[in-house]
Structure formats: structure tokens, C-alpha cells
Amino acid sequence: MKLDNKVAIVTGAASGLGLATCNALSAAGARVVGFDLDQAKLDAALGEGVLGIAVDVSSETSVEAAVETVVKRFGAVHVAVNCAGILGPCKTISKGQLFPSELWNRVLGVNLTGTFNVIRHAALAMTANEPEETGERGVIINTASGAAREGQMGQAAYSASKAGVIGMTLPIARDLAEHGIRVVSLAPGLFESGMSAGMPAKVSEGIVNSLLFPRRMGKPEEFAALVQHVVENAYLNALTLDIQCGVR
């Protein structure tokens, strides 16, 4: 799908991978709408020509209203990129205390249910699009994680949520194929972001030292470049692409 003049929604847009994705898609000619919790942070971060809407992706009502706003303003949704996510680090048992069920539910609510909320409402809007010559109506890209397969200590909820994103990618792609909508997930390793900045130095250094080449954190712009490629490459569908530099 060519991005020029297409309408793209990006969640987690106020920082990190989401912000870099907004910038890349906008530079490619798309009309971009960024979703995030804090309107002030969105307004401060997003570039000229990118609309920011305060959205809680874990709330279906919030997502539904935001997608409706996008359609009313721009007439369509062609691309949806799910970058919103939280880490929620906590051991299953720590100092005699159990992993709080409230934290578990919050992590899965944002990372998994939030992703599905955006998928559903964006996909419904995409079904109304006039198909391109190839029959394509839309592209949905989700952010999984290398932690879905090999999570670190304290990542039970995070790993479970990202494994869920990977697990639902194929069945949703099968569900939406008849509508000309592709679904792809990206599984990043350790990237420069607010999330990685909150990790203990020993943990992040250990991950970087396990990389192949280049032995450094990924740059958000590198993630965004892959997002753009997925949108533009019509033969990518129903899979999860690793962007991890060989981390194990």
C-alpha cells in the first residue's frame, strides 16, 4: 500500500517507537493521527501536521470514540500501528508478596486487550474503504516483543501479553483476509525508549552484550522504517517479524 495521502493511526505516539513511527509515516505522505494517554505530551511531541488524540487503548469506549473521530475528520482509516505498551516488571513472588493481580490485569489490558481494541475498531473502519486495484483495504501492524518467547525475570505479565499478540496475529489475519486487510506483528528486542530507560542498568547491559552486530540498542527510527516497509510490501501478511539483532 502506498502511504501517500493515506490515513494512519499510531498508538503510543507520544514517545519512543510510536513517535518515530508517526514521523516516518508522515514523512512518507500519510495523514497521521497519534493516540496516547496524555494530550499535553502528544501536543508537545508530535510534529506539524500530525493530529494527537488522548486515548486509553484499554478502554473500548475510548478507542471506539477516537476511531470515529478519525473517520469523521479524514474520511477513512487505512493503516493502524499498535505501539502502546507498558512493562509492569514484578516477580511472581518477591519478599513474600505475590504479583498483584491488579498489575497483571493492567499489563494485559494495555498490551493485549488494548491492541485488540484498536485492531477491531480500525478494521471495521477499513472495511468501508474502496479497495485498491490489488483489493487491499488496510494494513494493521502490532508490536510484540522478543520477550514473548524468552522473557527476563520479572516479565511474566509482559511476556504473556506479547505472546498473546503473536498468537492472535495469524487468526486475525485469516479473519480479515476476505476484507483485503493485512495483519503483521513486529517483535523488537531492546530499543532506545522510555521503557528501556526504566530497566536496571545490569539488565539492559546484559542484553546488549548478548547481541550480535551491531552491539547496541535499536533506534526507534529503525523500527519505524520496518513499519513503513510492511505497509508498502503487499506480500507481507499473517506473520511476526523479529527486529532483535540476534538477541537470545
Question: What would the grid cell of residue 107 be?
Answer: 499489563
Query: Nearest to residue 148, comparing CAs of 98, 211, 85?
Result: 85
Query: Nearest to residue 219, comparing CAs of 240, 241, 188?
Result: 188
481494541: which residue's cell?
Answer: 117
Of the residues 158, 181, 185, 217, only one is catalytic, namely 158
Asked if 235 is an active-site residue, the reply is: no
Q: CA-based Rg of the chain, rounded to a whole angstrom?
A: 17
486495484: which residue's cell?
Answer: 133
Phi and psi at residue 55, in whole multiples of 5°? -140, 135
DSSP string, 165-198: HHHHHHHHHHHHGGGTEEEEEEEE-SBSSHHHHT
Amino acid (one-letter) located at 123: A
**Category of 101 on φ-ψ map: left (φ > 0), alpha (ψ -120 to 50) or beta:** alpha
231: Cβ contacts below 8 Å, ≥ 6 apart:
1, 3, 8, 25, 79, 139, 141
3-state secondary structure 220-239: HHHHHHHHHHHHHCCCCCCE
Catalytic residues: 158
